[in-house]
Structure formats: structure tokens, C-alpha cells
């Protein structure tokens, strides 16, 4: 089957094509308009999706070398995400499917981040644990089957991606700051500064106190030395990144012990972080884990992950009607 997939939940307009489970196109239009605002402005994001959607669809069909008449289904992100952004993708998917008389497949964006592991080999085997770390979520998920997943731990406030982005903002770096923190961290000392580890029970996380600690740390140091950030940027980034990675992996380790599972994956935008990737890999030998880390292009938002989720739903004939609507929050 040939499936066209649309992702528009946040600030990436992306379209992919999947042919019998193989990705043959994955076009991503990033929005740069939000850089100067320190975060995504929802109203602006929807407008740019509206401008990008048709050209991105056309580019994906060209890349995949398929005619739209050869398609067997249209998959789209139904949620969670920004409602105005989702509306653009969902409305386009519905019209496109209606015009071409194709079945519609609704995909949960958070399931798709995890199912990105089924794009390339090696693929994890069920059951596995997946730490999903992105701009809006931080979850430890017990994955029993393609669409049988259970959240066993999650953040009570900010997401790990937000911790990166807000730290970047405190350091006057543009949005999204995660990749920039990563870049500067590679040249710094991860043990230069120590930040408090949140004491949260069970398998849950919290990053709001951590963020405040960094705010006060930077503010106090800048008061004493106005050039503090410029002089120590690399050490600050390395130390913050190291702390976040330690917090994330401590609970993942606890979950692995609790569930007796050694198949361990990471997913979502923060799984592109070089510190997290290296630290997870390092735990393989120590704990006897088999770890799964997505290729970079499948960590942050992309439609290839929606397409692969659509592929597995197509097999089950799990279709939705034209009355489907996006939802900003979506039950797992
Ligand atoms: P969600 O998936 O929760 O709805 P989202 O779709 O906005 O949120 P993603 O695109 O999956 O999030 O991830 C974006 C996040 O990943 C941003 O917070 C960004 O800073 C972070 N990120 C991307 N690359 C890196 C990196 N190398 N290091 C740290 N963080 C990163
Ligand atoms: Mg984004
Ligand atoms: Fe995402």
C-alpha cells in the first residue's frame, strides 16, 4: 500500500510517503518566524502551515515518484498539538481524501514518535520501554504492541525539551534552544556546575524547579560578573545538559528494573541530543540493555513517523470518517 502522511501539530509542516512500510519521501518545512519570539506563536504557526501545505505535498509526491492517483490512504496527525496548526493538516487531509476517494487514517503524534523506531532496522521487539522526550512531553512508555501503549511515568510540569528551550532563553539563545545547548555543551565541562536533582516519586519527572534553579544561578552570577554568560557559555550548557540527561536516565533505569525489560528506546526531539544518545549507549554494557535511538531526521517532528503509524493502521483497516476533528490534547 502507498500512504501519504501529513504532520502539522506544531511548527513543522511535513509530508511523507510510505510504500509497503518503506519511506520514499519525507519533506519537512521548518518555520523560522518563531525564532525571535522565544517560542512558537500559535497564530503565526497556523498561517505558515496554510502557506506551506500544498507545496510540501507536491514536493513529497515528486520525491516519492508517485502520482496522487496511486495512493491508497491518507494519514494525518489528529493530536496532540496546537489546535490551529492541527486544523490545517486535518482539513487538508479530509479534502484530499474526499477528492481522491481514499480512506483516512488518524494518528496520535505521541504514538508516532515511538513508532518512528519501525522505519529502519534494527527494530525493537515488544514489549519495550520508550523514553519519549520532546517539546511538550516527557514520558516513559511501556510499549506492548504497535498501538497498545501505557504511560508508566511522566512529567508533572515542564517537558525536557522545555527545560532545554527555557535554559536557552535564559542564556539569550534563540528558539528552539535545545540544539544550540547541545552544540555549546560539546565544548564544555559537564561537571563545572551542579544543579539540584528534582526529588519526585515513582517514575515521574519535574523540570519546573530545575528551570527556576538555573534562572537564579545565571541571574546571581551575572550580577557579580556581567560577562558571566559569554565567558562560561560552554560550561553552563554542558552542565545543564548533563543534569537533564542524568535526571532522565535515572528514572528510565528505575522503570527498566521495575518492569524487568532490557529493550530500551528513546524518541522525540530531545532524543537528538548528543549527550543523551551517548549516555544511553553507555548503559548498554553496564545494564545489559539493547538500546534503540532514532536517526536524527526521525527525532524531531516529521511526517515519516506518521506514515509508518499509518502503515500499521492500514493493515488493521483502522480508518476514520469525514467527521473526524483534531484534538489539542489526546488520550493515549
Ligand atoms: P511534542 O512532540 O511533545 O508535541 P514537539 O512536537 O514540539 O512536542 P519535537 O519536535 O518532538 O517537539 O521536539 C522539539 C524539542 O526537541 C524542542 O524542545 C527542541 O529544543 C528539542 N531538541 C531538538 N534537538 C535537540 C538537541 N540536540 N538537544 C536537546 N534538545 C533538542
Ligand atoms: Mg518544532
Ligand atoms: Fe513532536
Ligand 1: does its nearest atom lie under 6 Å from the Cβ of 326? no
Mean pLDDT confidence for 157-166: 97
Q: Is 109 annotated as a binding residue?
A: yes
Mean pLDDT confidence for 2-14: 98
For position 246, what pLDDT does the model report?
Answer: 98
Ligand 1: does its nearest atom lie under 6 Å from the Cβ of 135? yes
| Rounded Cα–Cα distance for residues 140 and 251 (Å) | 8
**How far does the centroid of ligand 3 lie from the alpha carbon of residue 113, in Å?**
7
Kindly identify the ligand whose nearest atom is closest to the C-alpha of 160: 1
| Percent over 70 (pLDDT), the chain | 100
- Measured from the Cα of 12, ligand 1's closest atom is 10
Give per-residue pLDDT as tens, 250-286. Answer: 999 999 999 999 999 999 999 999 999 999 999 999 9
Spatial CB neighbours of 301, under 8 Å, sequence gap ≥ 6: 7, 9, 10, 11, 12, 14, 28, 109, 269
pLDDT tier for residue 35 given thresholds of 50, 70 and 90: confident
More confident residue, 175 or 53: 53
Evaluate if residue 62 carries a pLDDT over 90.
Answer: yes
Spatial CB neighbours of 82, under 8 Å, sequence gap ≥ 6: 9, 10, 40, 42, 45, 46, 328
Kindly identify the ligand whose nearest atom is closest to the C-alpha of 177: 1
Ligand 1: does its nearest atom lie under 6 Å from the Cβ of 7? no
Mean pLDDT confidence for 65-80: 98
| Rounded Cα–Cα distance for residues 319 and 313 (Å) | 8
Mean pLDDT confidence for 106-126: 98
For position 39, what pLDDT does the model report?
Answer: 87
Which of 270, 273, 297, 309 has most ligand 1 atoms within 8 Å of its beta carbon, as the pocket-test mutant? Answer: 270
Taking alpha carbons only, the member of 61, 72, 75, 76 closest to residue 25 is 61
Q: Is 165 annotated as a binding residue?
A: yes
DSSP 3-state of 279: helix
For position 332, what pLDDT does the model report?
Answer: 78
Whole-angstrom distance between the N-terminal and C-terminal Cα of the chain? 26
Q: Is 323 annotated as a binding residue?
A: no
Give per-residue pLDDT as tens, 183-215. Answer: 999 999 999 999 999 999 999 999 999 999 999
Q: What is the DSSP string of 80-122?
A: SS-HHHHHHHHHHHHHHHHHHT--EEEEEHHHHHHHGGGTSSS
Taking alpha carbons only, the member of 16, 18, 26 closest to residue 2 is 18
Rg from Cα positions in the chain: 20
Evaluate if residue 288 carries a pLDDT over 90.
Answer: yes
Q: Is 301 annotated as a binding residue?
A: yes
Evaluate if residue 3 carries a pLDDT over 90.
Answer: yes
**How far does the centroid of ligand 2 lie from the alpha carbon of residue 12, in Å?**
6
Mean pLDDT confidence for 169-185: 96
Ligand 1: does its nearest atom lie under 6 Å from the Cβ of 173? no
| Rounded Cα–Cα distance for residues 302 and 109 (Å) | 10
- ω into residue 122 within 30 of 0, thus cis? yes
Give the rounded distance of the alpha carbon of 77 from its chain centre.
Answer: 13
Give per-residue pLDDT as tens, 201-252. Answer: 999 999 999 999 999 999 999 999 999 999 999 999 999 999 999 999 999 9
Evaluate if residue 38 carries a pLDDT over 90.
Answer: no
Cα angle 167-170-176, degrees, rounded to a multiple of 5: 55
Kindly identify the ligand whose nearest atom is closest to the C-alpha of 163: 1
- DSSP H or E stretch at residue 321: none
For position 37, what pLDDT does the model report?
Answer: 84
Q: Is 24 annotated as a binding residue?
A: no
The answer to whether ipTM exceeds 0.85 is yes
Mean pLDDT confidence for 113-117: 98
Amino acid at each position: 500500500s502507498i500512504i501519504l502522511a501529513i504532520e502539522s501539530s506544531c511548527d513543522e509542516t511535513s509530508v511523507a510517503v510510505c510504500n509497503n512500510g518503506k519511506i520514499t519521501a519525507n519533506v519537512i518545512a521548518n518555520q523560522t518566524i518563531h525564532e525571535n519570539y522565544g517560542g512558537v506563536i500559535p497564530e503565526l504557526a497556523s498561517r505558515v502551515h496554510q502557506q506551506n501545505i500544498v507545496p510540501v505535498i507536491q514536493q513529497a509526491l515528486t520525491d516519492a515518484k508517485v502520482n496522487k492517483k496511486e495512493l491508497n490512504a491518507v494519514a494525518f496527525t489528529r493530536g496532540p498539538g496546537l489546535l490551529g496548526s492541527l486544523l490545517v493538516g486535518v482539513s487538508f487531509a479530509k479534502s484530499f481524501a474526499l477528492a481522491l476517494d481514499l480512506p483516512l487514517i488518524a494518528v496520535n503524534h505521541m504514538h508516532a514518535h515511538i513508532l518512528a523506531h519501525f522505519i529502519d532496522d534494527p527494530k525493537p521487539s515488544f514489549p519495550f520501554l520508550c523514553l519519549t522526550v520532546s517539546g511538550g512531553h516527557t514520558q516513559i512508555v511501556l510499549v506492548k504492541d504497535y498501538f497498545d501503549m501505557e504511560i508508566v511515568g511522566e512529567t508533572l510540569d515542564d517537558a525536557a525539551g522545555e527545560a532545554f528551550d527555557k535554559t536557552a532563553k535564559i542564556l539569550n539563545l534563540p528558539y528552539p534552544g535545545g540544539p544550540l545547548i547541545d552544540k555549546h555543551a560539546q565544548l564544555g565541562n559537564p561537571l563545572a556546575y551542579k544543579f539540584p536533582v528534582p526529588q519526585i516519586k515513582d517514575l515521574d519527572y519535574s523540570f519546573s524547579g530545575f528551570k527556576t534553579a538555573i534562572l537564579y544561578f545565571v541571574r546571581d552570577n551575572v550580577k557579580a560578573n556581567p560577562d558571566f554568560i559569554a565567558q562560561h557559555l560552554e560550561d553552563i550548557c554542558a552542565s545543564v545538559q548533563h543534569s537533564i540527561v542524568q535526571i532522565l536516565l535515572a528514572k528510565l533505569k528505575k522503570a527498566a528494573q521495575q518492569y524487568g525489560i532490557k529493550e530500551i528506546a528513546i524518541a522525540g526531539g530531545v532524543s537528538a541530543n548528543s549527550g543523551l544518545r551517548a549516555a544511553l549507549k553507555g548503559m548498554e554494557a553496564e545494564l545489559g540493555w539493547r538500546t534503540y535511538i532514532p536517526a536524527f531526521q526521525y527525532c524531531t517532528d516529521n511526517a515519516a513517523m506518521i506514515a509508518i503509524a499509518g502503515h500499521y493502521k492500514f493493515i488493521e483497516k483502522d480508518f476514520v470518517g469525514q467527521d473526524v476533528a483534531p484534538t489539542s490534547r489526546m488520550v493515549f
